[in-house]
Amino acid sequence: MNPDTDTPTTRIRPPVRPVPVTTGGEPALGSANYHLGREVARGGMGCILEAEDRKLARTVAAKAVMLDSDMDEATKQRFIREAEVLAQLAHPNIVPIHDIVWEGGVPLFYTMKLVKGRTLHAILKDLRHQNSGVLREYTLDRLLAIFRKVCDAIAFAHSKGVLHRDLKPENIMVGEFGEVLVMDWGLAKMLNDECRMTNARAPEPAAPDSSSGIRDSSFSGTLSGALLGTPQYMSPEQAAGETNLLDERSDVYSLGAILYAILTLRPPVAGKSVEELLEKVKTGSITPPTSYGTTKSEAVAPKKNGVAEAKKLQPPPHLPSGRVPPALSAVAMKALTLDKTKRYQDVAALSAEIERYQSGFATTAEHAGTLKQLGLLMLRHKAVTALLGVMVLLSIGFVARLVASEKRAIAGEQSAVAEAARASQAEAVAIQEKQATVSALARSALSLAEAALREGNGSMMQAALGDVPEDLRDSTWHYLRGQSDSSIARIDTGTDIDDVVAHPKLPSVFVVVDHDGIVTLLNVRTGKRLLEFNTGSEFPAIRFKAYRIAISPDGERIAVGRWQVRSDHVGITIHDARNGKPLRQWDAAGTVALAFGPDGKSLAQAAVDSEGVRTIKFWDVESGRLQWTYAELVGEGRNLTMNLAPGGQQLWVQSRGGAVLLSLNDGSVVRSVRLLNTWALVLRPDGQVLVTGDARGAVKGYDPTDQHIVFEFRTDNRPIEHILFTANGSRLVTIAKLDDGRQALRIWDATTGAPVQSLLGGSGDVTGACLHPLTGELVVTGPETRAWSLGMARWVLRGVREAGVAFWGEDDLGFFPDGRKAATLQRLGSATPNSLWSASLADYFSISLSADGRFATVGTKRRNDPLLLLHKDGVNVKASEIPDVPWRESHRLCPTGKRLAIVRHNFEKAEVMDTTTGVSLPRLSGGNFIRFGDVGWLNDERLAGLVTAHAPRGEKGSEEQIVVWDITTGEALYRKTNPGQMDLLAVSPDARRIAEAGADKKVRIRDAATLAVLIEFRAHDGPITALAWHPKKPILATGSTDLTIRLWDLDTVERIDELRGPLAAPHTLAFAPSGQRLGCASLDATTRIWDPPSLADTVAAK
């Protein structure tokens, strides 16, 4: 469909019978339905005509075989194959096919969307001729955006097993409204098919145009015969006639050639004959695009093969300053590499490079050093420019001094023996300065990784971290490396995984089915495979097939359905979930989704047959009998999802056109909701909100009763492929695929739409996704399947202004908010906790427990509220007041509860008192202490604490210290200086180690006997605000302003879990006595309690 070309007279094969003109009634089908008009484009074996579709009253394009194109079997098969390929490729950037018309056993023409616009070839030609209007409209950024849409189309085709094999600017249409379509799929090849599109004729091109620019010549046309394709844009393996070696990388080469043409306004190779062109392609004789910014005076001598004649390398008029950006030149040349193993291995990688360039990042092809990446980072993040600028200046200074020192060293070596000592000294200085330079550049790379973390770009983080030398990879490097991939497990069955469901009864256990029909039950926490069985299906060796699974509510049965091209009888099988044995099987159309009924005895199936007819079928599992069918679904395609409504008697069904609520009794429509452009749908667990995601990344929540919008927010500007709710409905998970191949996994607050977290590490296509309702793990399936932990709390308990948390002797007994008061003594039940004791005032939230479990102190931060001392004797709790303790910042009971340490008066004072007598012990001394921070007991007589000495914190002369006192005398026994401000302190249960943390985001583990630092590591993205030791294992819990709770194995210094939920900074963490439960109180007046699988099966402390 090229309106830029002339319109020659074209003859097409006439229909076998005259085409009647209809005047009323229902339009005829077949050729009689179309009125063929003017020719708008011409190709190698056919032409494009404007046509009127009488039945639908629309204008379409008709591709017809020309009369002078011999309709031998090869031409016929190629024409049919092009139509079949287009029918499989439903993509916004691939021209959609509408119909194919046969007459007398011969394909006469097929119809497709008519696009009014111009080819990329015509646009580049006008740019070369410096058309002012085109130069204004088609900037480099606009051309790159067009190129990325082409990449999207080809990547999609490759995912369906289709190679284009004739990519060139002439086959790319740019519509009037900016749409971009890849045309002419006549040479397309299925990766699993042999090419059947050749004949014995040799190519006979017309006389060539001597110009090497964008032009209309025979060399830009498609060759027929043994060589198929366009010489100037075909890959070396294609030019050599090695059709058996063609794969996705061959199309990557052609895309690189198109990018080359975009940059230089000419194809990568030029010549005076087809043979010369093919030879240059096969030998890789291509001039780098950057050479086209060279003037005659700057030009180097031409290469011996005549590729780069300086007089022809005129600056491209459409580029800033007439120069090709080196980064894009490197990308094009990598895609055009002769050795296909050194090209981009897929289209997504090539497209990602363009996105990096447009986003201000360095491309991998240019092998940018740290200094260049640092400069790009400054442009993207001006807030850190000053800091990085200082680093760069330091680096430059170091390098300058290094050069000077090396020159002095060389001069010294050439001097007399008396100069030898000075030369040696200069060399030592040079080595030191070189090391300082490397260290500065390593710090710059870490800053780059930190910025990429804030952008949620894990691959960029890994690239930046890779620039740090191994001997400079400190705890911050290892922390950032871990953050670049936040998944907890990779699931590999040997092939792509098609679908996943969560086991309804087993924590952390999922059921997956892969592309070979193997079903696996596995625990994503432990990696243990509980069961594996083959569905027993025998598929033909075709690419277009998929499996879908469902599990019954009792976890006893697994249903497996199948979908494949050109088959209506693929069936459904029910397996025993305990041993995989097939229980029942019946014939059914292709399956795209399955869902058991509430009793596990019925099964809903979203089905699509070979004609594309979509239905919902409801089956009796015991007999395989069809109970009802619903066939009035809106929209088209295989995108169908099903959600059981609360109560289990109704079923929500979503398609691209909307959603319908069906009764499971008879399939009747209870409610219908018209939703345009819907890509994903999920029902909130309480059934009160229907949430959709569309093609532009918008998330909308609807009241299903009247369809009014409850909330709306935007995610990434990409189609949302899946939306999932956590079990309690408080969080939404959206899944989309970005242009560079990464998966955008985002967690959102379901009430406010506020972003909560990005999950890093996912990449590739998404075939399925599932959240475990019991333990909160997320599994996303596809060519690469991974699992993440969302760490959602089992209990969420809210206070009014404050919230506290502490477990008192039992896992189910503790101090938690009850909705009216910040901390009441409650016993956790399966549903709502029951209150056993509460203070008279609402704001008692600060709790300290004695290690023996007999005593507790509970307090507020208000000046005149008394501190309460609780004594638990069996099931009885006695409360008494501790008077005269105003302005408390914190309070800590010793292991036996006999003594109490109190920090008060705005952290200015610390004292210890006897809880049995109320008498104060000697004042804590040992230095000019200005501020007391957190404290913790080593035993009943020794207290550790954090202090600021000599001057107020942050002022000149101030010093941060950790001190251990003998509280019987008040004397400081030993102390250490801290390098930064530490705000938190926690003592291990055996009192042998002390953990400290604060604003520098790091944790230090000290030997309690010497205060020597044993371990130091980066733990969070924000200041650490809460600490807790595990009661039995070497595990430390940390909470931060980054709103995460993390569990660390101190033997390996590895993160073993991450919990989510707080909407404000945590201030208290507490383990239950068994160590299998963790509570967190945060500044949003909420306490959350988890039973994380990572804490199960605790062992004795090491």
- Collapsing DSSP states into helix, strand and coil, what is residue 330? helix
Residues 900 and 919 in one domain: yes
Average pLDDT of the segment spanning 28-54: 78
Comparing CA positions, the residue from 77, 83, 91, 92 lying closest to residue 111 is 83
What digits encode the pLDDT tens for the residues 460-476?
A: 777 788 878 888 888 78
Tell me the percentage of the chain whose pLDDT exceeds 70.
Answer: 80
Specify whether 134 is located in the same domain as 267: yes
Question: Given a cut of 60, is residue 678 above it in pLDDT?
Answer: yes
Residue 1080 CA to residue 1047 CA, distance in Å, equals 13
Which pLDDT belongs to residue 801? 81
Report the candidate in 59, 104, 105, 110 with the shortest Cα–Cα distance to residue 84: 110
Start-end of H helices in 977-1082: none
Domain for residue 759, yes or no? no
CA distances to 530, 689, 797, 806, 876 from 826, rounded to whole Å, are: 38, 33, 11, 10, 13
Among the candidates 617, 639, 661, a domain finishes at: 639
State yes or no: pLDDT of 421 exceeds 70: no
Q: Which helix (H) or strand (E) holds 121?
A: helix 120-128
The C-alpha atoms of residue 534 and residue 526 are separated, in whole angstroms, by 23
**Residue positions counted in the chain:** 1102
What is the C-alpha separation between 89 and 160, in angstroms, rounded? 8
**How far is the CA of 990 from the CAs of 448, 973, 1031, 1052, in angstroms?**
41, 20, 9, 19
- The tokens for 324 are 């090709």
Listing DSSP states for 175-224 in one string gives ETTS-EEE---TT-EETTS------SPPP---PPPS--SS--SGGGSPB-
When pLDDT is cut at 50, 70 and 90, the band that residue 1006 belongs to is: very high
In this structure, the answer to whether residues 552 and 571 fall within a common structural domain is yes
CA distances to 82, 104, 230, 859, 956 from 75, in Å: 11, 16, 18, 88, 86
Question: Which CATH number characterizes residue 579's domain?
Answer: 2.40.10.480
Query: Of 508-517, 539-548, 593-602, 1044-1053, which gets the smallest average pLDDT?
Result: 539-548
Assigned domain for 627 exists: yes
Could you give the CA distance from residue 121 to residue 233 in angstroms, rounded to a whole number? 12
Cα 922 off chain centre by: 58
In DSSP terms, 701 is beta-bridged to: 691, 711
Range in 377-391, 450-464, 508-522, 950-964 the model is least confident about: 377-391
Checking 383-388 for CB contacts under 8 A at 24+ apart, the result is 384/447, 384/451, 387/447, 388/444, 388/447
Mean pLDDT across 169-185: 89
pLDDT computed for residue 204 by the predictor: 37
Claim to verify: residue 930 and residue 959 sit in the same structural domain: yes
Return the residue matching tokens 């040696």: 424
User: Nearest Cα to 894, choosing from 809, 991, 1035?
Assistant: 991
CA–CA distance, 608 with 589 (Å, rounded to integer)? 7
Give the sign of the dihedral formed by CA 695, CA 701, CA 703, CA 708.
Answer: negative
Q: What is the pLDDT of residue 253?
A: 95
Look at 127 and 637; give whichever has higher pLDDT: 127
Which of 856, 883, 910 is the last residue in one of the domains? 883
Note whether 394 and 312 are same-domain residues: no
CA distances from 879 to 857, 867, 870, 871 (A): 9, 10, 4, 6
- Taking the CB of residue 473, how many other CB atoms lie within 10 A of it? 15
Helix axes 347-358, 140-159, angle to 10 degrees: 160
In this prediction the pTM is 0.54
pLDDT at 23: 35
> Across-strand partners of 1039?
1026, 1045
Same domain, 951 and 1004: yes
The pLDDT tens digits for 565-591 are 655 567 899 999 999 999 999 999 889
pLDDT at 245: 84
For 707, the token pair is 């369809």
Whether 743 is covered by a domain: the verdict is no
pLDDT for 1: 43
Residue 1016: inside a domain: yes
Per-residue model confidence (pLDDT) at position 369? 63
User: Does the pLDDT at position 458 exceed 70?
Assistant: yes
19 pLDDT band, cuts 50/70/90, is very low
CB atoms within 10 A of CB 105: 7
Let me know whether 546 and 412 are in one domain. no
Q: What's the distance, Cα to Cα, between the start and end of the chain in Å? A: 74
Give me the pLDDT at residue 3, please.
39
Residues whose CB falls within 8 Å of the CB of residue 217, separated by 6 or more in sequence, listed in order:
206, 208, 209
Is 209 buried (19+), middle (13-18) or exposed (0-12) by CB count in 10 A?
A: middle
Rounded Cα gap, residues 186 and 46, in angstroms: 10
Q: In which region does residue 1001 sit, left (phi positive, over 0), alpha (psi from -120 to 50) or beta (all else)? A: left
CB–CB of 925/938 below 8 Å? no
Q: Are residues 407 and 539 in the same domain?
A: no
Asked if residue 217 has pLDDT above 80, the reply is no
Residue 898 lies inside a defined structural domain of this protein: yes
Is residue 556 assigned to a domain?
Answer: yes
pLDDT computed for residue 611 by the predictor: 77
Same domain (yes/no): 894, 1000: yes
- Residue 105 tokens read as 């056993």
Q: What is the CATH number of the domain that holds 1088?
A: 2.130.10.10
- What mean pLDDT, rounded, does the chain reach? 82
CA distance 96 to 181: 9
Q: Tell me the C-alpha distance between 101 and 29, whole Å.
A: 9
The per-residue pLDDT for 11 is: 36
Highest mean pLDDT among 221-225, 259-263, 750-754, 790-794: 259-263
Tens of pLDDT, residue by residue over 821-831, are 878 898 887 44
Taking residues 217-246, report their average pLDDT. Answer: 71
- Residues linked to residue 965 through DSSP beta bridges, in sequence order: 943, 972
Is residue 403 located within the same domain as residue 421? yes
Non-local (6+) Cβ contacts of 154 within 8 A are: 164, 167, 182, 251, 255, 347
Q: Which residues constitute the domain of residue 950?
A: 795-816+887-1095
In whole angstroms, give the CA distance from residue 890 to residue 984.
11
Chain segment 528-569, per-residue pLDDT in tens? 999 999 986 554 444 456 899 999 999 999 999 988 765 556
Average pLDDT for residues 760-764, to the nearest whole number?
87
Q: Establish how many alpha carbons lie within 13 A of residue 659's alpha carbon, considering only the half-sphere containing its beta carbon.
A: 29
Q: How far apart are CA 694 and CA 696, in angstroms?
A: 6
pLDDT at 568: 59
For the cut 70, the answer to whether the pLDDT of residue 408 exceeds it is no
Q: Is the pLDDT of residue 6 over 70?
A: no
Q: Which residues make beta-bridge pairs with 832?
A: none
Number of domains in the chain: 5
Is 774 within 8 Å of 727 (Cβ atoms)? yes
Q: Is residue 895 part of a domain?
A: yes
Give per-residue pLDDT as tens, 899-949. Answer: 999 998 777 889 999 998 889 999 998 888 999 999 999 999 999 999 999
pLDDT for residue 527 is more than 70: yes
Indicate whether 377 pLDDT > 70: no
CA distance to 169, 292, 710, 834, per residue, from 265 (Å) = 11, 10, 51, 76
Rounded average pLDDT over 841-857: 87
Reading the block at residue 814, the tokens are 């503790």
Q: What is the rounded distance in angstroms from the CA atom of residue 172 to the CA atom of residue 154?
A: 12
* Measured distance CA(250)–CA(337) in Å, rounded: 11
Same domain, 391 and 301: no
Tell whether 466 and 601 lie within a shared domain.
no
Q: In terms of pLDDT, which residue wins out, 1027 or 707?
A: 1027
pLDDT at 438: 76
User: What is the per-residue pLDDT for 410?
Assistant: 52
Q: What is the mean pLDDT of residues 220-230?
A: 55
Q: 441, 460, 483 — which closes off a domain?
A: 483
Distance CA 93, CA 716 (A): 19
Any domain includes 2: no
Residue 311 has pLDDT above 60, yes or no: no
Q: Which residue has the higher pLDDT, 141 or 46?
A: 141
